């Protein structure tokens, strides 16, 4: 099913203490209102003290320059707050674009959300 707009959800695995948050995206990551809402929510988590964030991109159907900018700005926000951030489950077409703009050279990424969680937890 192709989505016309980005949908995202948030969960706090492992007891919900807020130290680890997983955001799951589905649909196009473009310069849309839901995408900027997602960006704002992640930033609020970071400024609220969350230090381990997984962004599960497995459901992202396409990404444009605005979407790349959103991911880059979240990386910067996390690094400024000394928070760990890992991209998980990056689809092939999204991975190709992120490689072209060399974003993957500057952020941890993992093949699955489980691997991303393990990476953040030092397992």
Hey, what domains does the chain have and what are their CATH numbers? 7-120 (3.30.750.24)
The pTM assigned to this predicted structure is: 0.93
Q: What is the pLDDT of residues 59-113, one digit of tens each?
A: 999 999 999 999 999 999 999 999 999 999 999 999 999 999 999 999 999 999 9
Pull the structure tokens for residue 57: 């991109």
């Amino acid at each position: 099913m192709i989505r016309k707009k980005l949908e995202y959800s948030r969960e706090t695995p492992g007891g919900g203490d807020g130290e680890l948050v997983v955001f799951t995206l589905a649909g196009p990551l473009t310069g849309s209102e839901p995408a900027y809402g997602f960006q704002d929510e992640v930033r609020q988590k970071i400024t609220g003290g969350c230090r381990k964030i997984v962004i599960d991109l497995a459901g992202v159907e396409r990404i444009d320059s605005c979407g790349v900018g959103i991911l880059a700005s979240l990386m910067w926000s996390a690094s400024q707050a000394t928070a760990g951030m890992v991209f998980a489950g990056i689809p092939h077409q999204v991975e190709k674009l992120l490689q072209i703009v060399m974003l993957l050279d500057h952020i941890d990424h993992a093949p699955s959300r489980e691997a991303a969680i393990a990476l953040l937890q030092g397992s």
